[in-house]
A and B are shown apart, each in its own frame.
Chain A
């Protein structure tokens, strides 16, 4: 356009359009962030080619100026967004490249020590503690070294009672003994807490027996007791069924049959229907369909009386469950000696 000549607004707008499309092509072709920035300065910078167009506007009529201005702004906006888009494209490419380079083999072993494990008896014991705690039972502890009184006499087993033969006892040089069952904790619980009482007492017990695959001189039991105004055999069966269903993670069928334990009257042996054969008979249940699991019964009035509880006012049930045996059943352990072996090949499996 010759100087001094009044510019044609249409021509101007046409030139803006041409610059826009040429610039878009350049943006697209830019190879990196630096190239892109150079193009931006060249076109949109303060001295950029698009910016220059506005200098021509003074020569236009107000109407033309408004129309050309609109075109210029539209071109500017379209280019700016094209620049941004391309810029973001470069950034995400760079990020992808970095991430790609940062590959880690997660199948490698984790550094540091791998976790250890809890003893299988501990695990079973916790399940039972948690269940009974949720039913409002206290978890009590008692000494492993007991007095003859608490282990026998207070449980209605006076000296020379033949029931003392049922539990071969370790006697100690200080005149005490190693508790043959967790039942003395019942007595201590009644003495300390009085009725009403709901308690369990898990712990280590001792019997002077030769050790073989199914006998140990040291094993774990949990004792349970409830003393309240109206406690019946029906209540006892309810708790035992609840306990065993929780332990074996399925509905179990139980049966009570007479069993003699001097601290309960009536006393029961509780059997569960064999979980292996479902009651049809197999090797585990010696073809009977039932597996003897725990002794229980209604607390003998003498036992209540000796602990200062009036048997006419209060009654209760008690049970004793072999934790070690339960762990054997639960995990299919066929040799009881493994529990005290300290053998990590065994213990690490839990």
Chain B
């Protein structure tokens, strides 16, 4: 929303603060200002000029014009405007002397665009009297900070703030007493007063449609509104001044003598002022005549009933529509207008007739000869006064953490036009003005804000609270994630963050059925349409991107997998996905690095070969399990996924580990008797996992086993090509005595027999 400094000053006549300082004050006390812009700067030096003589320049559309200026005397300028002619009155600006087509031009005659008063550049300004325009400063306020303030969508509301901030008096631009009494010339019927609490209208005849006077064009231009014609410009002016959206219909194009405010019927449609056709639904509130829709309520008018050059009679509408309804319609039609933005903020129904009064006054200025017919049509709900709010000074002091006096509070609220009645020592009953009562202010906390912002938050001294100390509730899962992060980073992995979105294509590549997972209904891009059921697609992208620049690297992410559930919110499972990439080598280093990482997180976890998933190397995939739970996968990424080189990946369910990690392990008492050790070498198939050999050995050793330790594996002569020898060192012992060498030999033989029985050959 843009605010004209000069416009505000019309309502706060004593305003003597520079625009930049005013901007700072508004920012700290009312709403965030985003910028300050000077408009119409050229007007500072502009002068009214009478064109005395015009002479063409041969071979050019330019002319030499001799002008008599009010401020600078007689001047000779070169002018290319087609409307430049002797006898006209226009505007001269003293720019530096230039030579155009051999002619010295001392200054220039200006178009509306050049002066910044409108967007017209087809010719120079046609002036019909004095040029009473001056440069202006425009303050732009962030719309988001006006969300709760329907009144600040007009200059009068902002002027009220400025008056309160600067302790000046405020002038109301509206003279309500101008409104005519008497029977209205048009009927209004409202179907649902909840959706339209008030609809007011006036009818005018003998209307002349034409360009607005320059001051009106300039005002609208300075706050970014386009001048259309005198009638439409007045409606926009009133909207920008008192936040009341207005609409003018060509009365001759309306059917019947009644305006209906009703829900659209299915199938009804309307061509709007923007030349778009909108098909309406029953959820859309419309303005209709006897034939059908003439406007979409609170959003936009219809093209067929719009004001045109030939318009003679006008119905002027000033209504109030329910915020939620307007917003719903505006969203469903994808159409936001200056009107809908205002109605969405819950406008004040009291304001409709004020809008008519102000427009009436302005129309008499801009459309000479215009005449009112009849009185105000005014159909409205029972407009209740908002209940007063009890406010205690003691409560204010407690909430602010700063002393305030009853006098300060009264002064602040009164300046903002709240009604303040003292009901006891330090307590008030506060009535809320209608323009703040629609949604913005209803409880004492809202008044706290009014007092707080006006006394200035900078006047509050920071103070620590006095509260009982307590140990905060624990969050073991988060603590655990932190430990994991530290450990993984310390082991050489760099943390990445990936989006929670993946493409359907990637989901399929990673074995997920896109239709079985949660989709984003309004994705930012087609390739980010699915909630990730796995961190792996993101990791794959990291691998591809970084492998373009690096020959080897390690990275990891801790993030949530999102899985649908039949009921309630989806399941969010924290996962660790770590990857080790090497362009060269056979890939085993990365896999074992990750296996060791898994062991660091889960001491004595087991890695068991498992059938590979589609995205896993078919001969390099395993499940990781720990304490009886299956925790995740260790694998090399399948080359078909586009990573050139070797990428080992560990993917673990952190929630599961964290839960199993909570289990308390009991200490085992230390052995009091010496143990004995011996080595065994088992011959096995080249691709038989040594893990199974180890398990068999351990099982054969039974309760005598203290420890089993891998020593080495060997291939080559004298073993056949498809065999390998695996050596283990077994330590055995008893809890209650030292085993004799004979006993140890018995155990050893028992193990050898058991292994032979299981079909293994032993080298003893």
Contact = CB atoms under 8 A, between A and B. Distances in A.
Interface in B388-408: 398-402
B398 A117 contact: no
22 contacts: A113-B593, A114-B492, A118-B485, A119-B496, A119-B497, A136-B471, A144-B572, A146-B569, A162-B327, A172-B519, A176-B570, A199-B472, A211-B524, A218-B499, A233-B460, A238-B465, A259-B32, A265-B449, A340-B497, A342-B496, A343-B545, A344-B553
B469 interface: yes
Contacts, number: 237
Interface in A78-127: 113-119, 121-122, 126
Contact of A233 (B324, B327, B400, B468): B400
A174 to B, nearest CB: 5
Given A117-B495, A118-B485, A234-B461, A300 B32 contact: no
A162 B344 contact: yes
Interface string B543-576: 0011001100111100010101000011010000
A228 B193 CA distance: 43
A301 B475 contact: no
Interface stretch (B143-151, B217-225, B295-303, B709-717): B143-151
B466 to A, nearest CB: 8
B145 A258 contact: yes
Contact of B490 (A115, A160, A233, A237): A115
A33 interface: no
A174 B500 contact: no
A199 B461 CA distance: 23
Given A147-B569, A160-B323, A265-B446, A260 B148 contact: yes
B489 interface: yes
Contact of A231 (B453, B465, B478, B497): B465
A140 B475 contact: yes
Given A136-B469, A343-B545, A145 B463 contact: no
Given A117-B495, A266-B445, A238 B463 contact: yes
Contacts of A113: 491-492, 554, 593
Interface in B570-614: 570, 572, 593
A5 B449 CA distance: 127
A143 interface: yes
B472 A342 contact: no
Nearest to A174: B518
B99 interface: no
Contacts of B495: 116-119, 122, 347
Interface string B145-163: 1111100000000000000
A257 B23 CA distance: 13
A170 B466 CA distance: 41
B265 interface: no
A349 to B, nearest CB: 10
Interface stretch (A7-15, A51-59, A202-210): A202-210
A160 B212 CA distance: 37
A229 to B, nearest CB: 8
Nearest to A160: B324
A258 B453 contact: yes
A113 B490 CA distance: 9
A235 B401 contact: yes
B731 interface: no
A347 B453 contact: no
Contacts of B545: 341-343
A159 interface: yes
Given A115-B489, A162-B323, A230-B465, A266 B570 contact: no
A326 interface: no
A152 interface: no
Nearest to B528: A217
A255 B541 CA distance: 43
B764 to A, nearest CB: 37
Contact of A116 (B145, B446, B494, B519): B494
Contacts of B524: 170, 208-211, 217
Contact of A344 (B463, B468, B490, B546): B546
Interface in A273-318: 292, 298, 300-301, 315
A133 B461 CA distance: 24
B637 to A, nearest CB: 15
Interface string A315-350: 100000000000000000000000111111101100
B401 A166 contact: no
A347 B496 contact: yes
Contacts of A232: 398-401, 463, 465
A131 interface: no
B290 interface: no
Chain B interface size band reads 35 or more
Contacts of B27: 257
Contact of B531 (A145, A230, A231): A145
Given A113-B593, A146-B569, A301 B554 contact: no
A162 B497 contact: no
A234 B453 contact: no
A145 B569 contact: yes
A266 B519 contact: no
Given A139-B475, A173-B518, A116 B491 contact: yes
B461 to A, nearest CB: 6
B400 A234 contact: yes
Contact of B448 (A178, A259, A266, A344): A266
Q: Find the residue from B144, B461, B497, B562 having the highest chain A CB count within 10 A.
A: B497
Contacts of A199: 472
Nearest to A133: B472
B383 interface: no
Contacts of B194: none
A266 to B, nearest CB: 3
B157 to A, nearest CB: 14
Nearest to A342: B542
A241 B541 CA distance: 40
B494 A344 contact: yes
B467 interface: yes
A235 B491 contact: no
Given A237-B460, A258-B30, A266-B453, A136 B470 contact: yes
Given A162-B147, A172-B531, A218 B500 contact: yes
B498 A340 contact: yes
A298 B555 CA distance: 42
B293 interface: no
Residue among A126, A163, A342 with most chain B CB within 10 A? A342
B538 interface: yes
Interface string A258-271: 11101001111100
A160 B498 contact: no
B541 to A, nearest CB: 7
B464 interface: yes
A193 interface: yes
B546 A343 contact: yes
Contacts of B468: 196
Interface string A129-160: 00001001111110111110000000000011
B570 A301 contact: no
A198 interface: yes
Contact of B467 (A159, A176, A196): A196
A248 interface: no
B477 interface: yes
Contact of B550 (A141, A226, A344): A344
Interface in A33-86: none
A315 to B, nearest CB: 7
B458 interface: yes
B445 A137 contact: no
Nearest to A192: B473
Given A116-B556, A267-B449, 9 more contacts: A138-B475, A204-B500, A232-B400, A232-B401, A233-B400, A238-B465, A257-B29, A266-B452, A340-B497
A140 B344 CA distance: 35
A229 B398 CA distance: 10
A126 B482 contact: yes
A206 B465 contact: no
